[in-house]
Amino acid sequence: MRPISMLAVAWVALSGISEAQEPNLNVNTPAVRTLKESMEARAATLARFKDAGQIGEGRDGLLAIRTLEGLGLGEKKGLEDLVAAENADRRALYKEILNANGLTDADAGLVMAQAARARYAAAAPNHYVQDPQTGGWVLRREQK
């Protein structure tokens, strides 16, 4: 069984959905396609900041700023705006996933936790991810 965060366990308990009934994240609606295109347009820029260790995948399914060290004022604002735009699209994507699965906003934690696990597993080597249990930053290593 895959590990699941305490937040997701709480959401599952409150929503009445079992882990075995995880929502389908592979939703393909016009709104989802538009969101994915928007996210893809900024992916290369985000990858540069991930490569530098300045941002990482949060345990909540959102992107997080780890450090602004080494950035000028304009670059800091640009990174903050970039992360905010990415997270706005991710939140909208999670809302679309909820709708497509016939779920309510009360199930958002379950969808976000499932997405976080998928992003954690898909993270590139030498990119940071938050540990699902502790929230501490972990540098992904080359998978063998």
Q: For the whole model, what pTM was predicted?
A: 0.82
Closest CA to 121 of 100, 138, 109: 138
Q: pLDDT per residue over 67-125, tens digit each?
A: 999 999 999 999 999 999 999 999 999 999 999 999 999 999 999 999 999 999 999 99
Residue keyed to tokens 């700023």: 65
Q: How far is CA 40 from CA 37, 45, 70, in A?
A: 5, 10, 26
Rounded Cα distance, 111 and 114, in Å = 5
